[in-house]
Chains A and B, each alone.
Chain A
Amino acid sequence: MHVTSPVRTPLVTGGKTYADVTEDICKQVEGKPTKEWKAAFTLSFVVLLYGTCCVFWTWWEGLGVWGLNKTVGWAWDITNFVWWVGIGHAGTLISAILLLFRQKWRTSINRAAEAMTIFAVLCAASFIVMHMGRPWLAYWALPLPNTFGSLWVNFNSPLVWDVFAISTYFSVSCLFWYVGLVPDLATIRDRAQNKVSKYIYGTLSLGWNGSAKTWARYEYISLILAGLSTPLVLSVHTIVSMDFATSVIPGWHTTIFPPYFVAGAIFSGFAMVQNLMLVTRVVYKLEDYITHEHIEMMNKIITLTGSIVGVAYLTEFFMAWYSGVEFESYAFINRATGPYWWAYWAMMTCNVISPQLFWSRHIRRSVTWTFFISVIVNIGMWFERFVIIVTSLHRDYVPSSWAMFYPTMFDIGDYIFSFGFFFTCFFLFSKYLPVINMAEVKAVIKSTSEKLPIKVSGVSKADRLASPAYKKDAE
Chain B
Amino acid sequence: MTDTNKKFLVGIYDDDDVILDAVSKVKNAGVKIYEVYSPFAIHGMDTAIGHPRTRIGIAAFCFGVTGFLCALTLTTWTMGIDWPMVIGGKDPISLPNYVPAMFELTVLFTAFGMTFTFFLSNGLGPTVKPLLFDPRCTDNKFVMAVDLSKNKMSEIEITSLIKASGAEEVSIKQI
Contact = CB atoms under 8 A, between A and B. Distances in A.
Interface of A: 1-2, 17-19, 22, 143, 150-156, 158, 160-161, 164-165, 167-168, 171-172, 175-176, 178-179, 182-183, 186-187, 189-191, 202-221, 224-225, 228-229, 231-232, 235, 239, 242, 438-440, 442-443, 446, 456-459, 464, 467-470, 472-473
Given A210-B138, A212-B49, A442-B39, A459 B110 contact: no
Closest 6 CB pairs of A and B: A207-B128, A18-B140, A152-B78, A216-B46, A161-B100, A206-B124
Contact of B37 (A152, A209, A458): A209
B79 A179 contact: no
B83 to A, nearest CB: 5
Contact of A150 (B24, B82, B121): B82
Contacts of A22: 39, 139-140
Contacts of A456: 14-15
B93 to A, nearest CB: 10
A209 B40 contact: no
A163 to B, nearest CB: 9
Interface of B: 13-18, 20-21, 24, 35-46, 49, 51, 54, 56-57, 60, 74-75, 78-79, 82-83, 85, 87-88, 90, 94, 97-98, 100-101, 103-105, 107-108, 110-112, 114-115, 118-119, 121-132, 135-140, 166
Contacts of B135: 190
A197 to B, nearest CB: 14
B139 A172 contact: no
A270 to B, nearest CB: 23
Given A1-B43, A153-B78, 5 more contacts: A156-B87, A168-B108, A215-B41, A224-B56, A457-B17
Contact of A207 (B16, B44, B112, B125): B125
Contacts of A468: 21, 24
Contacts of B140: 17-19, 22, 442
Nearest to B21: A467
A352 B55 CA distance: 48
Given A186-B130, A190-B135, A439-B40, A224 B110 contact: yes
